């Protein structure tokens, strides 16, 4: 792995180590681990006292709903986990209460009265909704640095767990719940996706997924807000930690789209998902993004052309790591492409692949050449070899002679051999043309050199004549 | 004097009255060319592969024992292990017998020649190198009984020998590169040993007179005898056609002079160039090439050409080629697969969800009970019917 050099000097500029051709920022200031503090406002010094309540299982059934409500209210009390020594007994009490509530919601029946709904939502809101602390946004590299974890996770996790089971409960009725789980709630929930703690984001993902599933009236709103988050992310901040999770949810939504696709969804694909590829931190969510794209294309193959043209438009020009990702995604798209769609985009597509194959970055070249190991892609190329072969030929032939990496040269042989077997006549024609072109070029070069030489001689003669060396 | 021959639809076709007996009237170059042709024809028999050897190759059956072996195992798995051992031994014996006693088949040789064509093309070797390599290969295989597993080594050795004789020193890649690109399993020392063996067995007569030699000479003669250069197919085109023919073992039986003439004749035939055909006929008469022989080979060449220029693609046999990628790329290939997501699919409703929440509220009861549970993990009715009326105002 990469070695981190810790420098004590505060003003050391970050140097860039190269591992496998990809740069890594591996010099950082010695980082003081700042635990995440929530901005909950709490009174200093006063210890929190909660009267211990009996266990739910120890109480007869008719009294349980009321006890349930009381426990919920108690759990609205939020503790300060920054101070690891304060209120230890009460923290433990809340934790065990939350645990109890989780079990209760999972197994019980008939406990969910109408009064419970607002109390549940209130308790959850009190616990989870908070302003997230600012990150070291300039220096935090999501790929390399450890994320700052949420300090109050022991309670927070149980609150999320509880909420999910509540939503999934048999007795849960969206028509009642929708008075309390409304747009404002959803908005605050979405903001939490920016949390640095991946465990929290994972729970939020499940929560939002369930809410989207059950609250039909909120679906359009949720989609719109996710749109806004992504657009802000792409065009304004390039900072948001929850893109992967949101994309996962979107994947399950896209999967369920009804046909024919609504215009709104197609717009989303072209205006939001494709531009999402341009972000620098693509590697953090690329797998989920590619999945969404492929799902869209499986729903409506006619979208293939705009998607591929979009990718080609945004093709990375300076980031090779991204190029490799794009090539991976493109292969996944080609795996499901319909032959009629393929024919529409084959020319610009293979022009780009031809450039990738000639890339001096060997991983880009390798990944592009590996397309020829894909049986389905090969069958498509075969059917259209008369168009594709001329596009690929020049770069393949050139790099077979010029590329520095021997492994690439060996792969090029495989590809050329495949082409040769596919369409011998065309291949021979192209070889002949290429050779004659090269000879013509060489001839021109030689002529140019001779011309320069003549001019030099002429200049020399003239200067000698001037100096009286050669009689005029 | 030279009679100018006009051809093509734009020109009036004159009856060609051209007799090669008027040799002394031809210019020096053409004269010399024809003399060369005659002397080569006298020598060409020395470089023909032995016909009996070629016949053996043609009749050798291709043994495909590998596939049935696995099928056998699948079929007989339930049987006792003793029985499996029996089959094991039996199959092994059969494979051994067939492999060692069957020699090289035509199919094996043809596949190898195609490989050589790819390699020669890849390394930028001239057609002459390729044709010479094929000639050496055929001559060697025709006199030696070799095991099919040695054919790759023999093939590459022939190519290397030919390259050394034909190409400039700087154009020849080092042997380890040849071996690496051809994905061969033998070593550099194996290669040089094989080259020595081949040279010895062919009595060091390596600079062969091949069909290509004749092709170039014929082409030169025709060029010198006609003024309309544009109508003559390029030598590259003819070379490509000859290469295609050489990929089939049968053409190694033909005399090089006849084969080259057949290729040219076939091309003129296809171009419907009557005037050219007349020149060819005269050439044939002068060089005393038998009519029936030429006709026979022309037929085969025609068939070969239809296959060569057909738009049907031969399916590339990618399985034979090894795709070696770097460790990082291999990791990428596995990692990038975002397999089945954990979140279950949420089906989209048929109603218009972009309506405001208020109107949805009014409709929600009926819709809910109709569509069941959208993506919920909970069992049972999504919305119990007794609550249906409560929501309505």
pLDDT in tens, A284-321: 999 999 999 999 999 999 999 999 999 999 999 999 99
Binned at pLDDT 50, 70 and 90, residue B285 comes out as confident
What would the pLDDT profile of A152-190 be if each residue is shown by its tens digit? 899 999 999 999 999 999 889 999 999 999 999 999 999
Q: How far is the C-alpha of A455 from the C-alpha of A270, rounded, in Å?
A: 58
Give the residue from A165, A247, A243 showing the smallest Cα distance to A207.
A165
User: CB of B271 within 8 A of CB of B218?
Assistant: no
Instruction: Tell whether omega for the bond before A260 is within 30 degrees of 0, i.e. cis.
Output: yes
- How many angstroms away from the CA of B303 is the closest CA of chain A? 15
What is the per-residue pLDDT for A3?
41
- How big is the CA angle at B206 (ends B203 and B209), to the nearest 5 degrees? 120
Taking an 8 Å cut-off on Cβ atoms, the answer to whether A400 and B121 are in contact is no
- How many angstroms away from the CA of B383 is the closest CA of chain A? 7
Taking an 8 Å cut-off on Cβ atoms, the answer to whether B325 and A407 are in contact is yes
Q: How far is the C-alpha of A362 from the C-alpha of A326, rounded, in Å?
A: 15
For residue A362, give Cα distances in angstroms to A17, A400, A415, B16, B164.
18, 13, 16, 61, 32
Q: How far is the C-alpha of B129 from the C-alpha of B135, rounded, in Å?
A: 10
Nearest CB to B324 within list A252, A286, A407: A407
**B309: nearest CA partner in chain A:** A425
Q: How far is the C-alpha of B268 from the C-alpha of B277, rounded, in Å?
A: 6
A3: exposed, middle or buried (Cβ count in 10 Å: 0-12, 13-18, 19+): exposed
Taking an 8 Å cut-off on Cβ atoms, the answer to whether A406 and B180 are in contact is yes
Any idea what DSSP says for residue A29?
Answer: E
What is the per-residue pLDDT for A27?
40
Taking an 8 Å cut-off on Cβ atoms, the answer to whether B183 and A410 are in contact is yes
Taking an 8 Å cut-off on Cβ atoms, the answer to whether B183 and A418 are in contact is no
% chain A with pLDDT above 70:
88
- Dig out the tokens for A271 from the structure: 């205006």
* Those residues with Cβ within 8 angstroms of residue A361's Cβ, 6 or more apart along the chain or in another chain: A21, A320, A323
Q: How far is the C-alpha of B367 from the C-alpha of B351, rounded, in Å?
A: 9
Give the residue from A220, A74, A217, A78 showing the smallest Cα distance to A152.
A78
Q: Is B353 helix (H, G, I), strand (E, B) or coil?
A: coil
What would the pLDDT profile of A74-112 be if each residue is shown by its tens digit? 899 888 888 778 888 888 999 999 999 999 998 877 778
For residue A168, give Cα distances in angstroms to A144, A162, A190, B68, B230.
36, 10, 20, 55, 82
Instruction: Give the residues across from A18 on adjacent strands.
Output: A23
Residues of A in contact with B110 (CB under 8 A): none
- Dig out the tokens for A296 from the structure: 């869209």
Any idea what DSSP says for residue A272?
Answer: I
Give the helix ranges, DSSP H, for A256-338.
Answer: 263-268, 286-299, 304-313, 320-335
Distance of CA B350 to the CA centre of its chain: 56
The size of chain A, in residues, is: 472
Q: How far is the C-alpha of A232 from the C-alpha of A235, rounded, in Å?
A: 5
% chain B with pLDDT above 90:
13
Q: How many CB atoms lie within 10 A of CB A372?
A: 24
**B390: nearest CA partner in chain A:** A175
- Dig out the tokens for A423 from the structure: 């369409």
- Dig out the tokens for A328 from the structure: 């991976």
A379 vs A36, residue with greater confidence: A379
ipTM value greater than 0.85: no
What is the per-residue pLDDT for B22?
47
What would the pLDDT profile of A244-283 be if each residue is shown by its tens digit? 999 999 999 999 999 999 999 999 999 999 999 999 999 9
Nearest CB to B313 within list A205, A248, A423: A423
What would the pLDDT profile of A422-446 be if each residue is shown by its tens digit? 888 899 889 888 888 888 999 999 9
Taking an 8 Å cut-off on Cβ atoms, the answer to whether B355 and A258 are in contact is no
For residue A189, give Cα distances in angstroms to A124, A182, A211, A226.
11, 11, 11, 11
Give the residue from B300, B166, B286 showing the smallest Cα distance to B246.
B300
Give the residue from A264, A280, A284, A261 showing the smallest Cα distance to A272.
A264
Q: How far is the C-alpha of A38 from the C-alpha of A152, rounded, in Å?
A: 9
B165: exposed, middle or buried (Cβ count in 10 Å: 0-12, 13-18, 19+): middle
Q: Which residue in the block uniquely carries the two structure tokens 């050779």?
A: A435
User: CB of B279 within 8 A of CB of B18?
Assistant: yes
**pLDDT of residue A232 exceeding 50:** yes
* Those residues with Cβ within 8 angstroms of residue A330's Cβ, 6 or more apart along the chain or in another chain: A308, A311, A349
Q: Which helix (H) or strand (E) element contains residue A158?
A: helix A153-168
**B323: nearest CA partner in chain A:** A411
Q: How far is the C-alpha of B40 from the C-alpha of B211, rounded, in Å?
A: 11
Q: Is A17 helix (H, G, I), strand (E, B) or coil?
A: strand
* Those residues with Cβ within 8 angstroms of residue A132's Cβ, 6 or more apart along the chain or in another chain: A36, A38, A191, A192, A194, A195, A196
User: CB of A427 within 8 A of CB of A420?
Assistant: yes
**B349: nearest CA partner in chain A:** A258
Phi, psi of A28 (to 5 degrees): -135, 160
Q: How far is the C-alpha of A389 from the C-alpha of B35, rounded, in Å?
A: 43
- How big is the CA angle at A120 (ends B368 and B388), to the nearest 5 degrees? 25
Phi, psi of A6 (to 5 degrees): -95, 120
- How many angstroms away from the CA of A327 is the closest CA of chain B? 11
Nearest CB to B343 within list A209, A217, A221: A209
**B353: nearest CA partner in chain A:** A220
Taking an 8 Å cut-off on Cβ atoms, the answer to whether A417 and B118 are in contact is yes
Taking an 8 Å cut-off on Cβ atoms, the answer to whether A252 and B346 are in contact is yes
Taking an 8 Å cut-off on Cβ atoms, the answer to whether A432 and B361 are in contact is no
- Dig out the tokens for B175 from the structure: 């042997």
- Dig out the tokens for A158 from the structure: 């149980």
Taking an 8 Å cut-off on Cβ atoms, the answer to whether B309 and A251 are in contact is no
Chain A to chain B, count of Cβ pairs less than 8 Å apart? 180
What is the per-residue pLDDT for A31?
46
What would the pLDDT profile of A124-142 be if each residue is shown by its tens digit? 999 999 988 777 655 556 6
B350 vs B15, residue with greater confidence: B350
Q: Which helix (H) or strand (E) element contains residue A229?
A: helix A219-232
Strand-strand pairing, A27-29 and A5-7:
parallel
User: CB of A325 within 8 A of CB of A340?
Assistant: no
Give the helix ranges, DSSP H, for chain B.
Answer: 28-43, 51-59, 66-75, 81-102, 106-122, 127-143, 151-166, 175-181, 188-201, 211-225, 235-246, 256-271, 274-286, 291-309, 327-335, 357-371
Residues of A in contact with B378 (CB under 8 A): 168-170, 172
- How many angstroms away from the CA of A199 is the closest CA of chain B? 15
B35 vs B79, residue with greater confidence: B35
Taking an 8 Å cut-off on Cβ atoms, the answer to whether B121 and A420 are in contact is yes
What is the per-residue pLDDT for A229?
97
pTM beyond 0.80: no
Taking an 8 Å cut-off on Cβ atoms, the answer to whether B318 and A382 are in contact is no
- How many angstroms away from the CA of A10 is the closest CA of chain B? 35
Residues of B in contact with A244 (CB under 8 A): none
Long-range contacts of B327-331 (CB under 8 A, 24+ apart): B328/A20, B328/A363, B329/A324, B329/A363, B329/A366, B329/A367, B329/A370
As a whole number, the mean pLDDT across chain B is 73
Mutate to test the interface with A, among B237, B345, B380, B391 (most CBs of A within 10 A): B345
Taking an 8 Å cut-off on Cβ atoms, the answer to whether A366 and B325 are in contact is yes
**pLDDT of residue B386 exceeding 60:** no
What is the per-residue pLDDT for A242?
94
A410: exposed, middle or buried (Cβ count in 10 Å: 0-12, 13-18, 19+): buried
What is the per-residue pLDDT for B340?
55
Q: Is B324 helix (H, G, I), strand (E, B) or coil?
A: coil
Instruction: Provide the angle, in degrees to the nearest 10, between the axes of the packed helices A362-369 and A406-422.
Output: 20
Nearest CB to A220 within list B117, B336, B353: B353
Q: How far is the C-alpha of B32 from the C-alpha of A329, rounded, in Å?
A: 64
A336: exposed, middle or buried (Cβ count in 10 Å: 0-12, 13-18, 19+): middle
Nearest CB to B329 within list A175, A367, A400: A367
The mean-pLDDT minimum among A49-63, B58-72, B215-229, B331-345 falls in: B58-72
- How many angstroms away from the CA of B363 is the closest CA of chain A? 10
């Amino acid at each position: 792995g990469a070695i981190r050099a810790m420098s004590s000097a505060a003003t050391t500029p970050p140097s860039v180590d190269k591992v496998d051709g990809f740069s890594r920022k591996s010099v950082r200031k010695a980082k003081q681990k700042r635990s995440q503090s929530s901005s909950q406002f709490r009174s200093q010094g006063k210890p929190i006292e909660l009267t211990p309540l009996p266990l739910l299982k120890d109480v007869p059934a008719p009294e349980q709903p009321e006890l349930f409500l009381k426990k919920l209210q108690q759990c609205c009390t939020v503790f300060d986990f920054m101070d690891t020594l304060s209120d230890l007994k009460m923290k433990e009490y809340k934790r065990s209460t939350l645990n109890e509530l989780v079990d209760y919601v999972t197994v019980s029946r008939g406990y969910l009265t109408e009064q419970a709904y607002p109390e549940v939502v209130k308790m959850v809101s009190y616990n989870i909704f908070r302003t997230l602390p600012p990150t070291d946004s300039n220096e935090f590299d999501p790929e390399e640095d450890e994320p700052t974890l949420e300090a109050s996770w022991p309670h927070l996790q149980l609150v999320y767990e509880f909420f999910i089971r509540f939503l999934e409960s048999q007795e849960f009725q969206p028509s009642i719940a929708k008075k309390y789980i409304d747009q404002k709630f959803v908005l605050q929930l979405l903001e939490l996706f920016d949390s640095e703690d991946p465990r929290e984001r994972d729970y939020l993902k499940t929560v939002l997924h369930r809410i989207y599933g059950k609250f039909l009236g909120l679906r359009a709103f949720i989609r719109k807000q996710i749109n806004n988050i992504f657009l802000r992310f792409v065009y304004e901040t390039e900072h948001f930690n929850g893109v992967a999770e949101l994309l996962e949810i979107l994947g399950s939504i896209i999967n369920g789209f009804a046909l024919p696709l609504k215009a709104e969804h197609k717009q989303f694909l072209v205006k939001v998902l494709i531009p999402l590829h341009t972000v620098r931190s693509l590697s953090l969510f690329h797998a989920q993004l590619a999945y969404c794209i492929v799902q869209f294309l499986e729903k409506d193959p006619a979208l293939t052309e705009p998607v591929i043209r979009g990718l080609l438009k945004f093709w990375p020009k300076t980031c090779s790591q991204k190029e490799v990702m794009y090539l991976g995604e493109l292969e996944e798209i080609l795996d499901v492409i319909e032959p009629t769609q393929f024919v529409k985009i084959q020319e610009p597509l293979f022009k780009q692949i031809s450039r990738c194959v000639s890339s001096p970055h060997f991983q880009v070249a390798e990944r592009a050449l590996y397309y020829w190991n894909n049986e389905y892609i090969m069958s498509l190329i075969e059917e259209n070899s008369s168009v594709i072969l001329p596009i690929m030929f020049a770069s393949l032939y050139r790099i077979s002679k010029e590329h520095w990496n021997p492994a690439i040269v060996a792969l090029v042989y495989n590809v050329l051999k495949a082409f040769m077997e596919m369409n011998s006549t065309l291949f021979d024609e192209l070889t002949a043309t290429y050779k004659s072109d090269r000879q013509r070029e060489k001839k021109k070069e030689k002529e140019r050199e001779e011309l320069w030489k003549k001019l030099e001689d002429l200049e020399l003669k003239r200067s000698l004549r001037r100096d009286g060396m050669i009689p005029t | 004097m030279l009679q100018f021959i006009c051809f093509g639809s734009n020109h009036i076709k004159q009856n060609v009255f051209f007799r090669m007996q008027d040799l002394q009237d031809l210019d020096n170059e053409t004269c010399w060319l024809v003399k060369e042709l005659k002397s080569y024809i006298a020598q060409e028999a020395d470089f023909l592969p032995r016909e009996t050897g070629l016949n053996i190759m043609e009749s050798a059956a291709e043994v495909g024992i590998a596939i049935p072996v696995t099928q056998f195992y699948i079929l007989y798995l339930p049987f006792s292990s003793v029985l499996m051992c029996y089959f094991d031994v039996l199959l092994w014996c059969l494979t051994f017998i067939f492999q060692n006693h069957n020699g090289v088949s035509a199919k094996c040789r043809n596949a190898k020649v195609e490989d050589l064509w790819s390699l020669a093309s890849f390394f930028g070797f001239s057609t002459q190198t390729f044709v010479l390599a094929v000639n050496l290969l055929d001559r060697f295989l025709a006199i030696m009984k070799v095991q099919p597993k040695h054919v790759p080594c023999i093939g590459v050795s022939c190519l290397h020998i030919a390259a050394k004789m034909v190409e400039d020193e700087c154009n020849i890649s080092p042997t380890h590169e040849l071996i690496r690109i051809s994905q061969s399993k033998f070593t550099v020392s194996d290669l040089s040993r094989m080259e020595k063996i081949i040279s010895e067995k062919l009595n060091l007569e390596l600079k062969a007179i091949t069909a290509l030699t004749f092709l170039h000479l014929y082409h030169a003669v025709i060029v010198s005898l006609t003024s309309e250069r544009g109508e003559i197919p390029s030598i590259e085109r003819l070379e490509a056609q000859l290469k295609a023919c050489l990929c089939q073992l049968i053409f190694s039986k033909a005399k090089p002079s006849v084969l080259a003439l057949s290729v040219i004749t076939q091309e003129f035939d296809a171009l419907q160039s009557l005037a050219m055909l007349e020149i060819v006929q005269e050439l044939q008469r002068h060089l005393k090439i038998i009519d029936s022989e030429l006709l026979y080979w022309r037929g085969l060449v025609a068939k070969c050409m239809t296959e060569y220029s057909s738009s049907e693609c031969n399916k590339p046999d990618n399985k034979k080629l090894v795709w070696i990628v770097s460790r990082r790329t291999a990791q990428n290939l596995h990692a990038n697969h975002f397999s089945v997501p954990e979140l279950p699919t949420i089906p989209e409703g048929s109603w218009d969800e972009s309506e405001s929440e208020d109107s949805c509220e009014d409709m929600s009861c009926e819709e809910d009970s109709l569509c069941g549970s959208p993506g919920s993990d909970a069992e049972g009715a999504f919305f119990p019917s007794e609550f249906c009326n409560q929501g309505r105002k």
